[in-house]
Amino acid sequence: MNTYRVGFIGCGGIARAHAMGYRGANNANIEFVAGSDLNPDGEKAQRLASEYGITLYGSHQEMLENEKLDLISICTWPKAHSEATLAAAEYGARGIMCEKPMAVNLEEADQMIAACEASGSVLAIGHAHRFSPQAEMARSLIQKGEIGTVSLIWGHCSLDLMNNGTHVVDLVNYLNGDVEASWVMGQIDRQKNVSGRGNHPDMVVEDMALGRVGYKNGVVGLIELGERAHQAYQFHVVGSDGIIDVNATDGPALKVLSAYRQRGWYAPELQEVFSFQSELEELVEAVEGKKEHRSSARRGRAALEIIIGIFESSARRSVIEFPVDVQDFPLERMIAEGMLSQ
């Protein structure tokens, strides 16, 4: 087993989940080395430092100059994801796990991919739900034809597109075999002057969002987010011969109705996993050239492209064809132009 020296940019809540994931990794010797944070004296950074024995810095440039790091977790608020990834790539990190959303616009996402290709760094995005056993099993059953030909994948959750929504869109992509989208139509609503919800204090957010995504295999994705959406982080896959429910609120994490098996609803057996551990073990495997990361930068960008497409469709009141040729964050533009509440 190889030894990897680990550092963090952003030392808040999710950095701790990454640290637990690294600590559990079964395929690497992990040395916790350093972390940088806007507020290194804050309670969250201090807690991470005391639990994992890392040196804290107030600037990631200073940390990267002083420490030898192999793997870097980027756990800042969204607007810093891109700049921190570029710095980690330029410094020559072998593996970078950047939290979701990958970036706040497609231009930044493309810069991140280009920088990591140039430096030979593996870049993965923290869409950890891809590693949940129910999602993994659902995808495998779909691919085996358990519910026939899939026509619709409906995903819904609370909060906004860039926060919980990026997980919802990414998981619809995952359940659909990561087939590319070809068009999207969307609508958003913003009546309140809202920014700074939870762990995205640097972003403006919509109150509600709805997206209909057409995939190249004919499947339709239906994305519902926000106050009046069904609040559970949940997915319903409709096929010609059955239905799969992921994260059913009224039962097991995975429920399947399969005409093909001529049986009523059943709940496949699932193994417990800690998805943050799985995504970081896979980062090690990707760095060692054993496989592409399940949540690669390319796939993170695919989720972001759909989200940007939903916003842009709402701005233009029309279907948006792929590739989405929009370089800014349309929600900010719509607010600045007076289309939506300040």
Ligand X SMILES: NC(=O)c1ccc[n+]([C@@H]2O[C@H](COP(=O)([O-])OP(=O)(O)OC[C@H]3O[C@@H](n4cnc5c(N)ncnc54)[C@H](O)[C@@H]3O)[C@@H](O)[C@H]2O)c1
Binding site for ligand X (CB under 6 A): 9-15, 36-39, 42, 44-45, 75-78, 80, 99-100, 126, 128, 163, 199
Q: How far is the CB of 100 from ligand X (least distance, A)?
A: 5
Give the three-class secondary structure for 162. Answer: helix
Alpha-carbon distance of 18 to 280, in angstroms, equals 8
Alpha-carbon distance of 242 to 210, in angstroms, equals 25
Alpha helices in 153-201 (DSSP H): 166-175
Task: Name the residue nearer to ligand X (CB basis): 30 or 74.
Answer: 74
Comparing CA positions, the residue from 87, 84, 112 lying closest to residue 298 is 112
Q: How far is the CB of 259 from ligand X (least distance, A)?
A: 34
Q: Are 213 and 306 in contact (CB under 8 A)?
A: yes
Q: How far is the CB of 110 from ligand X (least distance, A)?
A: 19
Task: Name the residue nearer to ligand X (CB basis): 36 or 173.
Answer: 36
Task: Name the residue nearer to ligand X (CB basis): 24 or 145.
Answer: 24
Q: How far is the CB of 80 from ligand X (least distance, A)?
A: 3
Q: How far is the CB of 167 from ligand X (least distance, A)?
A: 7
Task: Name the residue nearer to ligand X (CB basis): 104 or 335.
Answer: 104
Q: Which tokens is 45 given?
A: 């950074």
Q: Which tokens is 73 given?
A: 């977790």
Q: How far is the CB of 39 from ligand X (least distance, A)?
A: 4
Q: How far is the CB of 333 from ligand X (least distance, A)?
A: 21
What DSSP letter does each residue of 109-150 carry, written as one string? HHHHHHHHHHHT-EEEE--GGGGSHHHHHHHHHHHTTTT-SE
Beta-sheet strand order (sheet of 95-98): 55-57, 29-36, 3-9, 71-74, 95-98, 122-125
Q: How many CB atoms lie within 10 A of CB 325?
A: 10
Alpha-carbon distance of 190 to 157, in angstroms, equals 17
Task: Name the residue nearer to ligand X (CB basis): 37 or 224.
Answer: 37
Q: Are 88 and 119 in contact (CB under 8 A)?
A: no
CA separation (Å) from 181 to 15, 174, 307? 31, 12, 11
Q: How far is the CB of 175 from ligand X (least distance, A)?
A: 17
Task: Name the residue nearer to ligand X (CB basis): 7 or 126.
Answer: 126
Q: Which tokens is 215 given?
A: 């995939």
Task: Name the residue nearer to ligand X (CB basis): 29 or 66.
Answer: 66
Place of tokens 């996402």: 109
Closest residue to bound ligand X by CB: 12
Task: Name the residue nearer to ligand X (CB basis): 45 or 334.
Answer: 45
CA separation (Å) from 150 to 132, 195, 236? 21, 37, 11
